[in-house]
Structure 1
Amino acid sequence: MSIKKSIVAALIFGLIAGTAACGNSGGVKESGLSNIKTIKIAYLPLTHALPVFVEKELQDKKENKYKIELVKYGSWPELMDALNTGHVDGASVLIELAMKAKEQSIGVKAVALGHKDGNVIVVSKNIKSPSDLKGKNFAIPHRQSSHNILLGQMLKNVGLSYKDVNIVELPPPEMPAALAQGQIAGYSVAEPFGAKSIALDTGKVLFESNELWKDSICCSLVLSDKFINSNKDVAKEVVSSFRDAGEYIGSHKDEANAIAKKYLNLDDKVLTLSLKWISFNDLEITREAYDSLTSKIKEFGISSNPPAYDDFVDSSLLR
């Protein structure tokens, strides 16, 4: 064979080998032994979503069957649209929004609590009791939320109802400024936005959530039925690691705080206050806690037909 032909043959062989290698590189570990599944998890930048941030950071340091890709959204409607249309595999989300999606025949399952407790009723300093809110503006992030239930329960305890206050829905980041400017007299929302008003000394805590509703459920980790059914083993690992991330937050506070700052850009005072009210241990959604939630959803007119525990909650992935 001539030198020219030998060079051509070598080039052709190299091209074929390179093409084959490129075809196998996507979604494969460097060892080439197993595929890595990428799971897209939607979130809003909230302290309540800390377990998904911690899980991602811990998973990035280990060899796994899966990789978490966090997808940030600016509002609950945007996030739910992504979840409902299959643009993400799961989400850290207000559980009532996921329940409403299930009512509308969207294939989703709640697989773990996002946190326990961790909500506060924040009011302006001149508000002494819930009765002082009568006729005033009170903000919640969404009608389909535990914050709405907390408002309803607080009013009920003093003989009032929703009709006695002017309920407004505001994006969470706008609430501290609205309170400071006197546009609203109080609000209830996911952290860290309650802590911000306290840190700025423009508001005060009237109630913590556990004073109004013991073992209240707020946010949850939700996965799509499609993802669970197609990736059962991986789904179990994701949920198990999520639970472990919750335990890690309690036992590695400095590391968890550093991760929270990375995703939330909070100063120390706001973060410390925010985490003071929240627990991330024992994140199983129990039937008892869920039944309490559905009872209050019906009582306060949020939904007349919330999904049953067995239809909506998949606790098997956490065990």
Structure 2
Amino acid sequence: MSGAKKHLRIGFIPLVDAAALIVAADGRFAADEGLDIELVREVSWSNIRDKLAIGLFDAAHMLAPMAIGSSLGLGQVKAPLVAPVNLAMNGNAITLSRALYEELFKEKGDPADPASSARALAAAIRAREAEGREPLTFAMTFPFSTHNYQLRYWMAAGGIDPDRDLRLVTLPPPFMVESMAQGQVDGFCVGAPWSSVAVDAGVGRILHFGCEIFARAPEKVLAMRRRDAEAAPDVAHALARAIAKAASHIETTKDQDEIAAMLARPDRVGVDAGIIRRTLVGKLKIDADGTMRENANYLVIGKAGALRPEAAQAVWLYAQMLRWAQADFSTVGVEEATRVFDADLFDAALGAPAAKASSDRDPGGAFDGARPVDDLRAYLAGFAIGCKT
């Protein structure tokens, strides 16, 4: 790109998985690509989706399944999108109120094992039902989100039907902690830093990292309207390059404090820099008593091929939509989903990858065993709970 910098308005939610976008905009990377990025902080994913669809945003930090849902017109106005780059893999956590945690594990059960914790939750649900008590309420950030799919997958593995056995509600990420503090929700799945904020506030305990449910879940993408990317591919290429360079900087710099401070600003993520730094290195405090848990794959921003959008990731996300009756199976649906994760656009910007794709790029990797999704009907038939499309 040459001449005056291209001005872009890009919406984002205050989450650490927006790190590459924020660092690209606030550091030198976007400017080096001829871009002048105005980041607009939003509260809800519906705002992000709608403002991108009608052109108030040029691009957006977006839930990966939401980009597919928008392109398919599922529960929203149909607005075909394209993701020239992945912003993050993983980064979520399932957090319980301290009261529910004590109820589940006061006598037995292994809180570190998702299969055991799901069974413990199922037992608690049955006990509440027998006693005539109110059902539990869990929150996730949006129906078309990995948060929703992680909660549902985990619960269903314990014999829980999330559409019948409890309440599953939608809340914007910044509202999760206060809702738990007020006793309105018993648990939630949300992206960093909000589970850590709940722990530091003494209202919640992290039960499972998202990567303990799905080893490698496509979490956020940089989304653009498809017609805009096709009309100005140089802009999409420049954005992808700027984000890729920022992601590389985040993954390789020895000064994580600098990155954490940049993200901690009130107009960015707006929480304590120490929480953000722990998130970036995958070392989180899971309880107010100081108990720590570490996983290098808690949040994957740029390593191991994470930036490249892959068709297999789109198919895996579409499979989750089918399982939970958010979509009806069709070959057109599969094709449209894979068009969103545009590896060709990424490759044009950054160069084609080696001919042999890394197995690390395979999506999913559920805690209860691998289930290939190359045959969607067979994949869905393997579950006792969920739609049998």
Both structures adopt the same fold (TM-score exceeding 0.5): yes
Equivalent runs, 1:1-319 vs 2, <5 Å: 34-59=3-28, 62-104=31-73, 105-125=78-98, 126-127=100-101, 128=104, 129-130=117-118, 131-132=120-121, 134=125, 135-162=135-162, 163-252=164-253, 253-262=256-265, 263-275=268-280, 276=282, 277-281=298-302, 282-305=306-329, 306-308=333-335, 309-319=337-347
> For 1:10-57, what per-residue CA distance to the aligned partner results, in whole angstroms no more than 9, with x for missing partners?
xxxxxxxxxxxxxxxxxxx9xxx7232112211112112111100112
Q: Mind listing any 5+ residue stretches in structure 2 that lack a counterpart?
A: 105-116, 126-134, 283-297, 348-389
Aligned length: 288
Q: Which amino acid aligns with 1:220?
A: V
In 2, Cα distance between the equivalents of 1:62 and 1:54? Answer: 11
In 1, Cα distance between the equivalents of 2:143 and 2:90? Answer: 19
Tell me, yes or no, if the aligned pair for 1:199 and 1:270 is still in contact at 8 Å: no
Q: TM-score by structure 2 length?
A: 0.69
Q: Name the SS for the 2:79 alignment partner.
A: coil
Residues 290/255 of structure 1: CA separation in 2 closer, same or farther (3 Å cut): same
The alpha-carbon deviation at position 114 of structure 1 amounts to 1.8
Q: Name the SS for the 1:204 alignment partner.
A: strand
Q: Which has the larger Rg? A: 1
In 1, Cα distance between the equivalents of 2:314 and 2:211? Answer: 15
Tell me, yes or no, if the aligned pair for 1:194 and 1:274 is still in contact at 8 Å: no
In 1, Cα distance between the equivalents of 2:200 and 2:279? Answer: 10
What do you get for the CA RMSD once the two structures are aligned?
2.1
Q: TM-score by structure 1 length?
A: 0.83
In 2, Cα distance between the equivalents of 1:176 and 1:270? Answer: 15
Tell me, yes or no, if the aligned pair for 2:88 and 2:307 is still in contact at 8 Å: yes
In 1, Cα distance between the equivalents of 2:213 and 2:192? Answer: 17
The alpha-carbon deviation at position 61 of structure 1 amounts to 8.0
Which structure 1 residue ranges, 4+ long, deviate > 6 Å from structure 2?
A: none
In 2, Cα distance between the equivalents of 1:153 and 1:164? Answer: 14
Q: Which amino acid aligns with 1:248?
A: H
> For 1:291-318, what per-residue CA distance to the aligned partner results, in whole angstroms no more than 9, with x for missing partners?
2222122112233355534422211232
Tell me, yes or no, if the aligned pair for 1:103 and 1:307 is still in contact at 8 Å: no
Q: Name the SS for the 2:218 alignment partner.
A: coil
> For 1:123-158, what per-residue CA distance to the aligned partner results, in whole angstroms no more than 9, with x for missing partners?
022423334362311111111211110111011111
In 1, Cα distance between the equivalents of 2:63 and 2:274? Answer: 25
Q: Name the SS for the 2:40 alignment partner.
A: strand
Most deviating of 300-309 and 70-79: 300-309
In 1, Cα distance between the equivalents of 2:214 and 2:52? Answer: 28
Q: Which amino acid aligns with 2:311?
A: R
The alpha-carbon deviation at position 226 of structure 1 amounts to 2.9
In 1, Cα distance between the equivalents of 2:319 and 2:33? Answer: 40
Q: Which amino acid aligns with 1:267?
A: D
Tell me, yes or no, if the aligned pair for 1:55 and 1:242 is still in contact at 8 Å: yes
Structure with a larger share of its residues in helix: 1
Tell me, yes or no, if the aligned pair for 1:43 and 1:91 is still in contact at 8 Å: yes
Tell me, yes or no, if the aligned pair for 1:84 and 1:106 is still in contact at 8 Å: yes
Tell me, yes or no, if the aligned pair for 1:99 and 1:307 is still in contact at 8 Å: no
In 2, Cα distance between the equivalents of 1:111 and 1:50? Answer: 16
Q: Which amino acid aligns with 2:272?
A: D
The alpha-carbon deviation at position 242 of structure 1 amounts to 0.8
Tell me, yes or no, if the aligned pair for 2:13 and 2:42 is still in contact at 8 Å: yes
